[in-house]
Structure 1
């Protein structure tokens, strides 16, 4: 055939070949490029949106767009972005390049030598972007176009606007070498462009209205131009005032809402002083300096108590009250003690409120513990102590002008936390005028208390009666809010020994007129004073098996306004679809459907002054992209992440149903490869953790796993993945897994396209325990992977959850482990549910991940399983990631386990050659040089 005919023939075939070319399976090289949308914001006027598109590892991009999808700017590595209140500017940090940070870490640079952030200020109307280098932190005034930021070293002439020569101090590297000397603070009025910089600032605060900035200065040793103290800069007049002089520590700087009052804590003791209590200072800018409002052991304070340097300082909304923390003076350290000459030990005492491990976990917090107090600066410093050692947890109303704060205590009731997992609590209202305490519940109870936004009511869920109650502050009247509804407001599907949890409170209406409370399906609108209740969703939820939920979409909105439309997030319980319904808060009509489909939504984010929303929407095959809309029907797509997905073999998801041997209806999700062929047989991996079917339409990106199953990776590589929901019988956590998982697998095995001889199981934590149990009860699985499993409930029962310091007893008696009794009450139940005692039955090859820094499941549980199976001659491997927690945190470890997990199942379910780590292992002498991931030659 002539050459030109051969060429034409080749060209003619190319389109056909291109159309038929198979998509690639996902592999471990794709993780870093997979993107997600994050940190979306909408301007108050509803015209502009900003959001990040972030790869899993590497440099992200900040997008500034109109809600009509016009791109205004793309900023590489933009982060932590905010709009100013007037919707005229966007302010954001610019992170260093990932590769620059990586190289600095390789070179083991010190923290002060690492690459620094920059600050970007973008003018939305003109498109002008101004950058400032080496920025440590920044603040934007909540209701004004004013910015303040700390820089870490001199900024270059090319990247920073110069301030007037007479108002800016020269910044030198020498000053920054002494960390306590602080850093330069720059303050910018974005409207008129006025800029000033101040040296050696250690802390700062911009007022809500942007009219003032307060900052603390720590002067460098020997400086003649910089003086230590607390200063206030007035942006309107350009004037600078010193309110407090002298070296010391200035903290908790706080303005009132109007920017007309300032308070702060400070200690100015000599550097070598052994005890350095703080004092509280105040200024209304009427005098030359701040006045001392509360000093150590001042009138009203307990003897030996002082204002705390760790307590937050906050003015009430009306500026009349000043909340702050007090605490006992710190115990001076004995400087005569020689470290190597005294004992180091922890003393456990049965009378301790908290176990020693819990005390050590909260040690820093306890050393900083302070007790809420209030003072009235304009009333001759009238002082009221609100909390003390007995009553040490309080909550201030959103509208914090309210007379009372809510205080809750479990003092003398904490020991039972060891086996209950929670404590009984008593609640009080404490008067901010007199300190009077009003008991809300006469005896300690298991309850959750909250204060209404205006402070007119306390509401709580009582676990014993399973009802919601209210307490009216004005009348001292207690009202049962839910008894007459004849509907359950606690988890109707609870399958643990623990009391069922409430579905929760949605929101309050203006003036505390009504509270919205969830039942399983519907939302109830209830008068907290009378208890009059109406089904706000008109019973549509329970009738149609729709789960209605609501979260206020406007940032920092405290309550529902009288004419607000409520956009209700809804899930269909039967088919798992998501959508939105709409109803006006004042309407008596049923909510109206707006959107519903096989997708998942994020909560709505609404512009403060416009009916414009942004949200993400996704499905199994559709990444969670960002959208803008006014009505959730007509929407504008703002992002298009992960275009590379089209090149890879993806997957589908479908609900499956079956009936268990005991007659329970069961549900799960089956994931199939996108190129699924019913004429073929596929290996399958079952992955489980409690119930997962609500995530049917969740987008799952391929990602290095913390020890769970990467569904995207496995499905793309020719596996079926099955996630069965498990319901539990108390006292039978292991048999319950057998009941649901095994029957679900058997049901799917009836399909000709399931390879019944090549099925594996995988689980992490609680799922890991169930994997361990299942392989002692059946040999139907060809391979198993158990992450952080408990195998011996008798030894785990008395252990410690080291992340929290809590005893593990509550978990077995009350919560997830579901035994429902102590070890000595029902030892046979603990033994029967412990895989350890049935390990001789195991024939399934199993990999265990058990890490030496696991704070949830004792590391020795995995060791027990490994050493016993090893002794029994069973095929077993243990992966112990050094210094890692219950779920892997370090990305390099997540990548490593992802590779091993696929290698393991490929070997046992697909017949692939075994890697070296499976076949031969990796000796300790080769650790760090050989990972055993290559295929064994034997």
Structure 2
């Protein structure tokens, strides 16, 4: 409320003084008026937690096949979703609350979406041209059938299956349906009722009873609808067009291991051409020792040093392992069945969508034990001939992942020790090394963990599989899978200009790279952090042609199936990634959505790239986020937040939310904070020191700019970031406050710990991965001690807020407890937040909101001198927390 001061002139005052007083009153009145006028202008609001949970995301987007309409699902972090339909001019023509999934029909005449209701879902058919909706209530499930045309299958709560032809306005109904499975292409549906299995041919309205068994566990139908397979009462049955149903015998069949049976725990499926049927088998069920009574059975775990799979992993996988099955195949034409997988080779890959007589069989049985400390496994790879039932060795001890070309002509893999790609010809049974580091650097040039570098992946194969396209750090290379021609760099200038080119698949159903048409490429400039799109004509030896580029992140491209229109997103720190519509020239893009119009009401920060020199002499980068209406003459509080490297996200919008593990950059810059995110470059064996060497000179560089208050600097990080800020607290007194989430503070105890979410031992993280020690504790104990904050708790002068949750499956929450109790023992200011039952980070929205509120109160107290809240000052007992939150 404005306070008014009224001056009353004294009537006894002489005229001279009276005139002076009048002038003073007028001048003061003008000042008051100016101040009141300024405060009366509509000002920008400061973002709060209550605001950011209402922020919208575009969680789904579709473009109609004709490219004339765009549908989106917009969803806040807290609240109801909404489906919106737009035309190509960006006009909203329809919206509906609580939509779940959205689709266009292939003829672009209908928008179809399901909607959550109180008792069941409803399915809405919105006619785009008639501008009217038809609603079907009590829907249990539905399946779009795009390869049938404008067909859709809908099952309702009353067990009625309706097959709709939206183009003709026709319906086919079947009652008493328990489950159904439409063929992908042929207009046939496999229907399971209470006591029958039926093949329903939709166009002829003909039904064929396949089985009268009361129990049907699994079923499948071929793409053309001609063949069906099912499991009834543990028996596998097959019905082919023009023949009677027949049983596929597994028990007693010499093609299968003795005593094995058909598994009901694996899905059945046909090859794309319907020539082969794939199913699962399993050993006979284990029988418990009945000589010991059930109530006398001891609750013991027996861990064995020889076991190939860590016992803690076995416990997590126990139920899955009980249902474990192994792939087998039946060749319909040749009437041959064979076992593909086995307990020691339990992974396989189909060639040519299962049409081929060959499969890839993979075994890591010889390498499982070492996975405990190496963090990854090796593989023996075989080529299995389903007609002969025979394996051919492809490679042994592969450190990498084997894959297959789309048509199955080649197997290929990236070999970690060789930093090279290899290919294996299926027809010639011959291996080729197709890249070499002396020609193409396909391995990660920036690898900074004590492990062999991974690859930059591949773009894909051409149609006849005579070439594949391989990425290096910047460019794209055309490579021969059998060394018929030397590798060719097709983008020419990526490395020279520090531009990263990558292929964008405009047709998600196209499995190969179309060499007849220009490639559509994404680009990212490592120097400017700008991105864009380029076009590359493979028939001309020329550099990629820029279509669009700028200080944004462009992405999420989806092209219309039957036209040249496409949708994409465009974002920066200040601009939400709304959807845009354009043709491939991008000359006149149209903005379609405006998902967060409320953004204009709030103070909004800006993002800038800065660089500095580390204590080791390396010039590196980071992003500084400045408050709205930034004034370089002011002194701002600053929070340093980092993980590893994030400067490439300079133009990322960072959608406001009640984050589970980090500060919200928009909320903090809106409230007058500077936020800084530095890149970290690591030296093996010294991760903590590496963070210090990068962060401290960065802060000095910013302090020299003059707008940050040196006494009001905080730091925040989670998990690996939580460890690093905990380490910094032992090395410097610069920080006025630190929030450290899910940190490791004792690398020695953490090394031997378990990642309880997966059951894996944590040793591999220190020897080979993120923690970057590179040695065991007995090989280099000093590295573990020097990098563990726990051994320097007495040097901590900064108030610490810890988050450590009791169901954390990544970092043992005992690490947080060690951190807290050590500082408490030293009587240093420390608080710990444990969101009971939560994992590595809070997942429930109410816990995320609470975390954001407490973290901001913590920083506001130490960096803005705001009053300490009750939960920090007096504390809250276990009893208190049932009645109050102490904000």
- Per the normalisation by structure 1, the TM-score is 0.88
Tell me whether 1:553 sits opposite 2:522 in the alignment: no
Q: 2:306 aligns with which of 337, 341, 351?
A: 351
Tell me whether 1:247 sits opposite 2:268 in the alignment: no
Q: Is the 8 A contact 2:213 2:232 kept in 1?
A: no
CA distance in 2, matches of 1:765, 1:856: 9
Deviation at 1:652, TM superposition (A): 0.3
CA distance in 2, matches of 1:557, 1:137: 28
CA distance in 2, matches of 1:85, 1:364: 42
After superposition, where does 1:57-206 map in structure 2 within 5 Å?
57-96=78-117, 115-144=119-148, 145-152=150-157, 171=158, 183-206=159-182
Q: Is the 8 A contact 2:53 2:658 kept in 1?
A: no
CA distance in 2, matches of 1:606, 1:597: 21
SS at match of 2:338: strand
Deviation at 1:338, TM superposition (A): 5.9
CA distance in 1, matches of 2:317, 2:397: 24
CA distance in 2, matches of 1:827, 1:63: 59
Q: How far does the alpha carbon of each residue in 1:517-571 deviate from its partner, in whole angstroms, 9 at most, with x for none?
A: 1111111111212263444443311010001122423223211223232211111
Partner of residue 158, structure 1? none
- Residue segments in structure 1 that go unaligned for 5+ positions in a row: 2-8, 97-113, 153-170, 172-182, 219-227, 269-277, 934-938
CA distance in 2, matches of 1:212, 1:913: 70
CA distance in 1, matches of 2:186, 2:75: 32
> 1:576/1:857 Cα in 2 relative to 1: closer, same or farther (>3 Å)?
same
SS at match of 2:697: helix
> 1:394/1:911 Cα in 2 relative to 1: closer, same or farther (>3 Å)?
same
Partner of residue 409, structure 2? 456
Moved more, 15-24 or 548-557: 15-24
Q: How far does the alpha carbon of each residue in 1:456-509 deviate from its partner, in whole angstroms, 9 at most, with x for none?
A: 011111111111111111122222211176231111111110111111111111
SS at match of 1:331: coil
Q: Is the 8 A contact 2:401 2:414 kept in 1?
A: yes
> 1:407/1:652 Cα in 2 relative to 1: closer, same or farther (>3 Å)?
same
Partner of residue 14, structure 2? none
After superposition, where does 1:818-837 map in structure 2 within 5 Å?
818-837=772-791
> 1:455/1:75 Cα in 2 relative to 1: closer, same or farther (>3 Å)?
same
Q: How far does the alpha carbon of each residue in 1:69-95 deviate from its partner, in whole angstroms, 9 at most, with x for none?
A: 354432222222223344443332112
After superposition, where does 1:613-652 map in structure 2 within 5 Å?
613-631=566-584, 632-652=586-606
- Residue segments in structure 2 that go unaligned for 5+ positions in a row: 1-5, 7-29
Partner of residue 166, structure 1? none
Q: Is the 8 A contact 1:479 1:531 kept in 2?
A: no
Tell me whether 1:55 sits opposite 2:89 in the alignment: no
Q: How far does the alpha carbon of each residue in 1:731-764 deviate from its partner, in whole angstroms, 9 at most, with x for none?
A: 0001001001111111101122111110000000
After superposition, where does 1:408-487 map in structure 2 within 5 Å?
408-441=362-395, 443-483=396-436, 486-487=439-440
CA distance in 2, matches of 1:398, 1:142: 22
Tell me whether 1:25 sits opposite 2:29 in the alignment: no
Deviation at 1:301, TM superposition (A): 2.5
Tell me whether 1:541 sits opposite 2:490 in the alignment: no
CA distance in 2, matches of 1:804, 1:488: 34
Q: Is the 8 A contact 1:146 1:210 kept in 2?
A: no
Q: Is the 8 A contact 1:536 1:588 kept in 2?
A: no
CA distance in 1, matches of 2:303, 2:139: 46
Partner of residue 869, structure 1? 823
Deviation at 1:19, TM superposition (A): 9.2
CA distance in 2, matches of 1:327, 1:628: 52
CA distance in 2, matches of 1:576, 1:750: 25
Q: How far does the alpha carbon of each residue in 1:126-145 deviate from its partner, in whole angstroms, 9 at most, with x for none?
A: 34422222222211114022
Moved more, 133-142 or 63-72: 63-72
Tell me whether 1:801 sits opposite 2:767 in the alignment: no
Q: 1:300 aligns with which of 255, 261, 266?
A: 255
CA distance in 2, matches of 1:295, 1:125: 56
Deviation at 1:373, TM superposition (A): 1.6
Partner of residue 232, structure 2? 267
Tell me whether 1:325 sits opposite 2:330 in the alignment: no
Q: How far does the alpha carbon of each residue in 1:97-144 deviate from its partner, in whole angstroms, 9 at most, with x for none?
A: xxxxxxxxxxxxxxxxx6422112233443442222222221111402
Q: Is the 8 A contact 1:553 1:603 kept in 2?
A: no
Moved more, 603-612 or 816-825: 603-612
CA distance in 2, matches of 1:194, 1:14: 71
Q: 1:747 aligns with which of 671, 696, 701?
A: 701
Instruction: Work out the number of aligned pairs and report it.
Output: 856
Partner of residue 890, structure 1? 844
CA distance in 2, matches of 1:18, 1:583: 56
SS at match of 1:33: coil
Q: 1:915 aligns with which of 850, 866, 869?
A: 869
Moved more, 301-310 or 921-930: 301-310
Q: How far does the alpha carbon of each residue in 1:220-250 deviate from its partner, in whole angstroms, 9 at most, with x for none?
A: xxxxxxxx11112221012222211121133
Tell me whether 1:286 sits opposite 2:242 in the alignment: yes
Partner of residue 930, structure 1? 884
Moved more, 238-247 or 490-499: 238-247
Q: How far does the alpha carbon of each residue in 1:282-335 deviate from its partner, in whole angstroms, 9 at most, with x for none?
A: 223435x63323454445332222222222322222221112222223335679
Moved more, 123-132 or 523-532: 123-132
SS at match of 1:143: helix
Q: 1:521 aligns with which of 446, 466, 474?
A: 474
Deviation at 1:384, TM superposition (A): 2.0
SS at match of 1:896: helix
Tell me whether 1:235 sits opposite 2:202 in the alignment: yes
After superposition, where does 1:208-219 map in structure 2 within 5 Å?
208-209=184-185, 211-218=187-194
Partner of residue 11, structure 2? none
CA distance in 1, matches of 2:88, 2:368: 52
CA distance in 2, matches of 1:931, 1:38: 33
Q: Is the 8 A contact 1:522 1:535 kept in 2?
A: no
CA distance in 1, matches of 2:95, 2:191: 33
Q: Is the 8 A contact 1:232 1:242 kept in 2?
A: yes
Q: Is the 8 A contact 2:492 2:542 kept in 1?
A: no
Partner of residue 10, structure 2? none
Partner of residue 661, structure 1? 615
Deviation at 1:15, TM superposition (A): 13
> 1:533/1:900 Cα in 2 relative to 1: closer, same or farther (>3 Å)?
farther
Q: Is the 8 A contact 1:119 1:132 kept in 2?
A: yes
In terms of Rg, which structure is larger? Answer: 2
SS at match of 2:248: strand
Partner of residue 674, structure 2? 720
Q: Is the 8 A contact 2:628 2:672 kept in 1?
A: no
CA distance in 1, matches of 2:290, 2:743: 47
Partner of residue 155, structure 1? none
Q: How far does the alpha carbon of each residue in 1:900-919 deviate from its partner, in whole angstroms, 9 at most, with x for none?
A: 01100000000000100110
CA distance in 1, matches of 2:682, 2:742: 21
CA distance in 2, matches of 1:549, 1:375: 40
> 1:337/1:717 Cα in 2 relative to 1: closer, same or farther (>3 Å)?
farther
Deviation at 1:367, TM superposition (A): 2.4
Deviation at 1:365, TM superposition (A): 2.7
Partner of residue 510, structure 1? 463
Q: How far does the alpha carbon of each residue in 1:901-938 deviate from its partner, in whole angstroms, 9 at most, with x for none?
A: 110000000000010011011101122211111xxxxx
